[in-house]
Amino acid sequence: MSTDKPPVTCDLLIEAGFVVPIVPHGVVLEDHAVAVSGSRIVALLPIAEARARYQPLRTVSRPDAVLMPGMVNAHTHNPMTLLRGVADDLPLMEWLNQHIWPVEAAVIGPEFVADGMTLAIAEMLRGGTTCANENYFFPDVQAAVYKQHGFRALVGLPVIDFPTAWARTADEYFDRAGEVHDQWRDDELIGTAFAPHAPYTVNDANFEHIRMLSDQLDIPVHLHTHETAQEISDSLKQYGQRPLARLDRLGLVNDRLIAVHMTQLTDAEIHLCAERGVNVVHCPESNLKLASGFCPACALQRAGVNLAIGTDGCASNNDLDMFSETRTAAILAKAVAQDPTALDAATTLRAATLGGAIALGMGERIGSIEAGKQADLICVDLSQLETQPIHHVLSQLVYASARHLVSDVWIAGQPKLVQRQLLDIDVEALVANARHWRERIRTLHPAT
Amino acid sequence: MSTDKPPVTCDLLIEAGFVVPIVPHGVVLEDHAVAVSGSRIVALLPIAEARARYQPLRTVSRPDAVLMPGMVNAHTHNPMTLLRGVADDLPLMEWLNQHIWPVEAAVIGPEFVADGMTLAIAEMLRGGTTCANENYFFPDVQAAVYKQHGFRALVGLPVIDFPTAWARTADEYFDRAGEVHDQWRDDELIGTAFAPHAPYTVNDANFEHIRMLSDQLDIPVHLHTHETAQEISDSLKQYGQRPLARLDRLGLVNDRLIAVHMTQLTDAEIHLCAERGVNVVHCPESNLKLASGFCPACALQRAGVNLAIGTDGCASNNDLDMFSETRTAAILAKAVAQDPTALDAATTLRAATLGGAIALGMGERIGSIEAGKQADLICVDLSQLETQPIHHVLSQLVYASARHLVSDVWIAGQPKLVQRQLLDIDVEALVANARHWRERIRTLHPAT
A124 shares contact with chain B (CB less than 8 Å): no
Are residue B274 and residue B317 in the same domain, yes or no? yes
Q: How far is A404 from chain B (nearest CA, A)?
A: 8
Instruction: Write out pLDDT tens, residues B138-192.
Output: 999 999 999 999 999 999 999 999 999 999 999 999 999 999 999 999 999 999 9
B435 to A386: CB separation less than 8 angstroms, yes or no: no
Q: How far is B320 from chain A (nearest CA, A)?
A: 8
Cα–Cα nearest to A2, from A35, A50, A55: A50
**A113 located within any domain:** yes
A402 to B400: CB separation less than 8 angstroms, yes or no: no
Are residue A104 and residue A236 in the same domain, yes or no? yes
Domain that holds residue B47: 8-69+376-412
A391 to B430: CB separation less than 8 angstroms, yes or no: no
C-alpha distance from residue B395 to each of B72, B233, B374, B387 (Å) = 19, 40, 26, 10
**B13 located within any domain:** yes
Helix (H, G, I), strand (E, B) or coil at B194: strand
Q: Which of residues 327-366 of B touch A (CB under 8 A)?
A: 328, 330-332, 334-335, 337-342, 344-345
DSSP state letter for B383: -
Q: How many CB pairs under 8 A join A and B?
A: 199
Find the helix or strand (DSSP H, E) in which B243 lies.
helix B243-249
Amino acid at B196: P
The whole-number pLDDT of residue A4 equals 67
Q: How far is A437 from chain B (nearest CA, A)?
A: 7
| Total of domains in chain A | 2
Q: How far is B399 from chain A (nearest CA, A)?
A: 6
Q: How far is B321 from chain A (nearest CA, A)?
A: 9
B399 to A91: CB separation less than 8 angstroms, yes or no: no
Cα–Cα nearest to A324, from B403, B67, B395, B406: B403
- The DSSP bridge pattern shows strands A377-381 and A406-411 to be antiparallel
A319 to B385: CB separation less than 8 angstroms, yes or no: no
**B419 located within any domain:** no
Closest partner residue to A427 among B126, B292, B385, by Cβ?
B385
Q: Which of residues 161-200 of B touch A (CB under 8 A)?
A: none
Closest partner residue to B89 among A88, A285, A345, by Cβ?
A345
CATH of the domain at A398: 2.30.40.10
The whole-number pLDDT of residue B326 equals 98
Are residue A211 and residue A240 in the same domain, yes or no? yes
Q: What is the dihedral of CA A214, A215, A219, A221, to 10 degrees?
A: 50
Supply the DSSP string of B310-372, one letter for each residue.
----TTTS----HHHHHHHHHHHHHHHHT-TTSS-HHHHHHIIIIIHHHHTT-TTTSSS--TT
CA end-to-end span of chain B: 63
A334 to B84: CB separation less than 8 angstroms, yes or no: no
Q: Are A268 and A287 in contact (CB under 8 A)?
A: no
Chain B residues within an 8 Å CB radius of A292: 335
Question: Rounded to an integer, what distance in angstroms lies between the CA atom of residue B139 and that of residue B176?
Answer: 9
Chain B residues within an 8 Å CB radius of A400: 84-85, 314, 318-319
A389 to B332: CB separation less than 8 angstroms, yes or no: no
CATH of the domain at B76: 3.20.20.140
- pLDDT, block means (10 residues), chain B with 448 residues: 76 98 98 98 98 98 98 97 94 86 92 98 98 98 98 98 96 98 97 97 98 97 97 98 98 98 98 98 97 97 98 93 98 98 98 98 98 98 97 97 98 98 96 96 82
Instruction: Write out pLDDT tens, residues A371-423.
Output: 999 999 999 999 999 999 999 999 999 999 999 999 999 999 999 999 999 99
Are residue B110 and residue B178 in the same domain, yes or no? yes
What HEC string does chain A produce? CCCCCCCEEEEEEEEEEEECCCCCCCCCEEEEEEEEECCEEEEEEEHHHHHHHEEEEEEEEEEEEEEEECEEEEEECHHHHHHCCCCCCCCHHHHHHHHHHHHHHHHCCHHHHHHHHHHHHHHHHHCCEEEEEECCCCHHHHHHHHHHCCCEEEEEEEECCCCCCCCCCHHHHHHHHHHHHHHHCCCCCEEEEEEECCHHHCCHHHHHHHHHHHHHHCCCEEEEECCCHHHHHHHHHHHCCCHHHHHHHCCCCCCCEEEEECCCCCHHHHHHHHHHCCEEEECHHHHHHCCCCCCCHHHHHHHCCEEEECCCCCCCCCCCCHHHHHHHHHHHHHHHHCCCCCCCHHHHHHHHHHHHHHHCCCCCCCCCCCCCCECCEEEEECCCHHHCCCCCHHHHHHHHCCHHHEEEEEECCEEEEECCEECCCCHHHHHHHHHHHHHHHHHHCCCC
Helix (H, G, I), strand (E, B) or coil at B13: strand
For residue A3, is pLDDT > 60? Answer: no
The residue-averaged pLDDT of A28-45 equals 98
Helix (H, G, I), strand (E, B) or coil at B22: coil
The whole-number pLDDT of residue A258 equals 98
Are residue A339 and residue A383 in the same domain, yes or no? no
A291 to B88: CB separation less than 8 angstroms, yes or no: no
Q: How far is A327 from chain B (nearest CA, A)?
A: 10
Are residue A214 and residue A158 in the same domain, yes or no? yes
B386 shares contact with chain A (CB less than 8 Å): yes
Are residue B16 and residue B141 in the same domain, yes or no? no
* Residue in A84, A121, A292 to test binding to B, most B beta-carbons within 10 Å: A84
B383 shares contact with chain A (CB less than 8 Å): yes
Residue A396: alpha-carbon gap to chain centroid: 22
Question: Rounded to an integer, what distance in angstroms lies between the CA atom of residue A200 and that of residue A246?
Answer: 11
**B436 located within any domain:** no
Helix (H, G, I), strand (E, B) or coil at B278: coil
Are residue B78 and residue B64 in the same domain, yes or no? no
**B426 located within any domain:** no
Chain A residues within an 8 Å CB radius of B437: 389
B388 to A340: CB separation less than 8 angstroms, yes or no: no
**B418 located within any domain:** no
Provide CB contacts within 8 A for B268, sequence distance 6+: none
The whole-number pLDDT of residue B91 equals 84
Chain B residues within an 8 Å CB radius of A330: 289
User: Is omega for the bond preceding B46 within 30 degrees of 0, making it cis?
Assistant: no
Question: Rounded to an integer, what distance in angstroms lies between the CA atom of residue B98 and that of residue B446?
Answer: 11
Question: Rounded to an integer, what distance in angstroms lies between the CA atom of residue A356 and that of residue B399?
Answer: 24
Nearest residue in chain B measured CA to CA from A92: B340
Q: Are B300 and B273 in contact (CB under 8 A)?
A: yes
Find the helix or strand (DSSP H, E) in which B103 lies.
helix B101-107
Residue B280: strand pairing partners: B259, B307
Question: Rounded to an integer, what distance in angstroms lies between the CA atom of residue B448 and that of residue B446?
Answer: 5
Nearest residue in chain A measured CA to CA from B324: A324
> Computed over its alpha carbons, how large is the radius of gyration of chain A?
22
Angle between helices A139-148 and A110-126 (to 10 degrees): 40
The residue-averaged pLDDT of A318-325 equals 97
Question: Rounded to an integer, what distance in angstroms lies between the CA atom of residue A12 and that of residue A38?
Answer: 9
Are residue A227 and residue A159 in the same domain, yes or no? yes
Are residue B153 and residue B262 in the same domain, yes or no? yes
Residues across chain B:
448
Residue B132: alpha-carbon gap to chain centroid: 4
Are residue A203 and residue A94 in the same domain, yes or no? yes
Question: Rounded to an integer, what distance in angstroms lies between the CA atom of residue B255 and that of residue B220?
Answer: 8
- The DSSP bridge pattern shows strands A8-19 and A221-225 to be unpaired
Closest partner residue to A332 among B82, B288, B448, by Cβ?
B288
Q: Which of residues 422-441 of A touch B (CB under 8 A)?
A: 427, 430-431, 434-435, 437-438, 441
Cα–Cα nearest to A301, from A229, A251, A338, A355: A355
DSSP state letter for B79: G
CA dihedral for A263, A267, A269, A272, sign (positive or negative): positive
Closest partner residue to B386 among A319, A345, A392, by Cβ?
A319
Strand order, beta sheet including B257-261: B71-76, B129-134, B152-159, B190-196, B221-225, B257-261, B279-282, B306-309
B324 shares contact with chain A (CB less than 8 Å): yes
Helix (H, G, I), strand (E, B) or coil at B41: strand
A291 to B335: CB separation less than 8 angstroms, yes or no: yes
* Residue in A399, A401, A404 to test binding to B, most B beta-carbons within 10 Å: A399
**B131 located within any domain:** yes
Question: Rounded to an integer, what distance in angstroms lies between the CA atom of residue B346 and that of residue B334?
Answer: 14
**B88 located within any domain:** yes
pLDDT band at A1 (very low <50, low <70, confident <90, very high): very low
- The DSSP bridge pattern shows strands A129-134 and B54-69 to be unpaired
The whole-number pLDDT of residue B1 equals 47
Q: How far is B216 from chain A (nearest CA, A)?
A: 40
- The DSSP bridge pattern shows strands B406-411 and B414-418 to be antiparallel
What's chain A's average pLDDT?
Answer: 96
Question: Rounded to an integer, what distance in angstroms lies between the CA atom of residue B118 and that of residue B113?
Answer: 9
Are residue A76 and residue A63 in the same domain, yes or no? no
